[in-house]
Amino acid sequence: LSLADGEEKRFIISVGAAHKRDEIDSILKTALDFDIADDGFNKIKERWENHLQFCQVKTPDEDMNKMLNIWHAYQCFTTFNWSRFISYYERGLDRGWGYRDSMQDVLGVMHAIPSMARERIETLLKIQCSDGNAKNVYFPGTGEAAGGGRSDDHLWSVYSVCAYIKETGDYEFLDKKIPYYDEGEGTVKEHLIKGLEFTRNNTGEHNIPKFLKSDWNDSISAIGKGGKSESAFVFFQAAKAAKDLKELFEHISDNENYEWTSEYYEWCRKEYPQLWDGKWFIRAYTNEGEKLGTDEDEYNKIFLNPQSWAVLSGLPSEE
C-alpha cells in the first residue's frame, strides 16, 4: 500500500474453508464485505460488554479495576471453555475436561453465565460413579470418561452446585435425575451425598480420609502408594462440603438430610483436633503413619492448603 500524508485505507484479510470449490465466490463476497465485518466486530464487542457487566468493581487503583473488570473475567471465561486443554485446536480427544478442574472453573463464571455453568455441572456429574467417586477426566469429543480413584474429585461438585443455587434460586435442580457413569441414576442431591459418603467410607487408621491416588496436589501423589496414607486437606474439604450442604438443607427445610449432614459435620469436629500440630495443621499421614507437614520435620514444616481449608471448614476456633 502506498499512503499519502494523512491518508487511510481499510482492507480485510480473510481465511476460510469451503466444502466445494464453487462455493468460494459467494463466501468471499460475505467475508470481504466491510459492513458485514463491522457488524460482526460490533457483535463481538457487544457480547463481551454484556458478559462483563455482571461484575464491575471501582477502586482507586486503575490497574486493579482493569484486572478485576476485564482480564480476570476474560481469563475465567476462557478457562471455563477450555479447562486444562493443552491445545486451542484439539478439543476433547487426547486431553479432556478434568473433573476437579472444571467443577472449580464454573465458580468463576457463575455470576455471568449460570445456565452454561449448570450444563457443565450436569455433564460432569454424569461421570460420577454410583459409589460416589468420580472419573477424573471427561472427553467431550467422545462422551467417554477415564481415571478415577482420587480422593478429592467428587467433593468439588458440592461447591459448584451450592454456588449455582445461591446465584439462581433454582432449587428444583437438586431433584433432577442424572445417570451415574457405571450404573443407575440419582438426583443431583443424591450425587452430592454419595460423594460425601465415599469420603467417609474410605478413611484410614486415624479416621481421616484416605489419600488414595491423589488429593488435588498431584505433586505429592507418591505418598498415596501403599493405600494407607490419609489426607488432612480432603478432611477439611469434606467438612466444608458438609457445612455448605447442611446450610442448604436447613434453608429448604430438608430435615432428614439436614440431620445427616449435621452428624457428618460433627464427625469432622470430633476428629480435626488430631490434625493440629501445635502451630498449624499437618498435610497428611503417610503410608507408615508419619506426619507430613509438621514442625518436627526439618524440610516439610507447613503446607498452605490445610490451613486455608481449615478456616473455610469453620471447624477451628479463632484462637
Strands 177-179 and 185-187 come out as: antiparallel
Give the HSE-up count for residue 211: Cα atoms under 13 Å, Cβ half-sphere. Answer: 27
Q: Which of 33, 38, 218, 295 is catalytic?
A: 218
Cα separation, 44 vs 318, whole angstroms? 48
- Which residue's C-alpha cell is 445427616? 260
Give the end-to-end CA distance of the chain in Å, rounded to a whole number: 71
Give the integer Cα–Cα distance in Å for 298 and 275: 18
Buried b (16+ CB within 10 A) or exposed e, 191-221: bbbbbbbbbeebbbeeebbbbbbbbbbeebb
∠ CA 241-112-178, nearest 5°, is 50
Extract the C-alpha cell encoding 32. Answer: 470481504
* Separation between Cα atoms, residue 289 and residue 267, nearest integer Å: 21
Q: How many CB atoms lie within 10 A of CB 232?
A: 31
Half-sphere exposure of 286 (CA within 13 A, CB side): 10
Q: From edge to edge, which strands make up the β-sheet containing 230-231? A: 230-231, 284-285, 291-292
Distance of CA 61 to the CA centre of its chain: 29
- Does the active-site annotation cover 218? yes
**Measured at the alpha carbon of residue 18, what is the angle toward residues 17 and 20, in degrees to the nearest 5?**
150
In single-letter form, the type of residue at position 134 comes to A
Residue 87: how many CB atoms within 10 A of its CB?
Answer: 9
Q: Which residues are catalytic?
A: 218
